[in-house]
């Protein structure tokens, strides 16, 4: 019986080993990226990986370099790779046409590009509004981040609808018993759309790598970042969240100032550096009320990350101690479980 596996994962180096393990179990691998010139040449070793990553403007370049080195090995072993991300493919086409001098009005009127053009125009506009509000009061900033999250949720839905349609179409033209679909962990709608449209006799499997790693650290439930939680709030019309959207927005504003922004490399001592860093600050901000977030934002909004962390710990020592205590307890339980 053929099966389609969706791997929900962050594009972080620490999740690459498990991603590769899953890919090895499948004949066809569908990547979450638009078709790029030179991709096949890169897989065959005819183009340098570093050059390809630079030309494709990868969002996570260190992850992309490491992943493509491994993809080459899988390709040499007979795995088939496909790049399917129609939304981003159309957006790249829009950017190319604009760079070539075609007016925005004419680009928008191209029927195949209109929906993506309008969505990007709206979402980017909301993001610019948020950045422009950096000098405003906290309530204004909360309102702006909510507006952006709503637009981002609509964009995610359109992306997932377009990608699901192309993947389902692809199944009709591929002769394989096992296909792996790479997807960012927030693309839950994609899973729903694939499940709804998957033809017989295909079966769907879902592997949430982030959830697995979070559970391994002792959390009994998924702990999304406040920003992703806010976007998900709008993705599902608030039906699955008990936390008030204003509180989610307030926590997201301070959380983004505290987490590590650079790509971190796993080590034997810390195999999940990003997850550990982000879980700690999610637990930290999870202790803060709306008023406390407003107070902390006033103190750290203009500070670099390291100084913002120092201020946050100094001002809210109880939140720090609670987060540290919960993470320590998780690590202890992991060691005890491995010993058994």
pLDDT tens digits, one per residue of 55-88: 988 889 999 999 999 999 999 999 999 999 999 9
Decide which of 114 and 238 is more confident.
114
CA neighbours within 13 Å on the CB side: how many for 247? 11
Span 270-284, pLDDT tens digits:
899 999 899 999 999
Would you say residue 334 has pLDDT above 50?
no
Could you tell me the pTM of the whole model? 0.90
User: Mapping DSSP to helix (H, G, I), strand (E, B) and coil, where does residue 221 land?
Assistant: coil
Would you say residue 335 has pLDDT above 50?
no
* CA end-to-end span of the chain: 36
Domains observed in the chain: 3-87+154-215 (3.40.1010), 101-152 (no CATH), 226-339 (no CATH)
Span 216-255, pLDDT tens digits:
766 656 678 899 989 988 988 765 566 789 999 999 999 9
| Distances from the Cα of 34 to the Cα of 85, 122, 233, 297, angstroms | 5, 21, 27, 37
């Amino acid at each position: 019986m053929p099966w389609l596996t969706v791997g929900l994962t962050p594009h972080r180096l620490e999740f690459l080993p498990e991603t590769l393990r899953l890919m090895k179990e499948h004949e066809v691998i569908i990547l979450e990226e638009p078709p790029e010139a030179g991709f096949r040449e890169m897989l065959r070793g005819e183009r340098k990986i570093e050059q390809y990553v630079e030309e494709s403007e990868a969002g996570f370049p260190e992850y992309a370099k490491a992943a493509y080195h491994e993809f080459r090995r899988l390709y040499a072993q007979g795995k088939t790779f496909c790049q399917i991300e129609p939304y981003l493919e159309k957006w790249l086409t829009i950017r190319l046409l604009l760079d070539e001098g075609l007016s925005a009005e004419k680009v928008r009127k191209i029927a195949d590009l209109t929906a993506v053009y309008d969505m990007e125009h709206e979402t980017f506009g909301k993001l610019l509004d948020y950045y422009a509000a950096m000098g405003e009061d906290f309530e204004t900033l909360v309102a702006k981040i909510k507006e952006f999250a709503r637009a981002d949720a609509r964009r995610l839905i359109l992306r997932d609808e377009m990608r699901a349609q192309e993947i389902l179409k692809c199944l009709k033209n591929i002769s394989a018993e096992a296909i792996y679909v790479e997807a960012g962990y927030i693309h839950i709608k994609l899973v729903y759309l694939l499940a709804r449209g998957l033809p017989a006799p295909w079966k769907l499997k879902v592997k949430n790598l982030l959830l697995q790693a979070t559970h391994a650290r002792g959390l009994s439930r998924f702990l999304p970042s406040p920003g992703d939680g806010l976007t998900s709030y709008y993705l599902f019309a608030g039906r699955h969240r008990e936390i008030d959207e204003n509180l989610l927005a307030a926590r997201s504003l301070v959380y983004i100032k505290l987490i590590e922004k650079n790509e971190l490399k796993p080590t034997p001592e810390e195999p999940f550096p990003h997850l550990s860093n982000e879980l700690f600050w999610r637990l930290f901000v999870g202790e803060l009320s709306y008023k406390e977030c407003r107070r902390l934002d006033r103190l750290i909004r203009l500070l670099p990350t390291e100084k913002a962390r120092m201020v946050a710990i100094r001002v809210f020592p109880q939140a720090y101690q609670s987060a540290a205590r919960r993470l320590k307890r998780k690590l202890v339980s992991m060691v005890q479980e491995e010993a058994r």
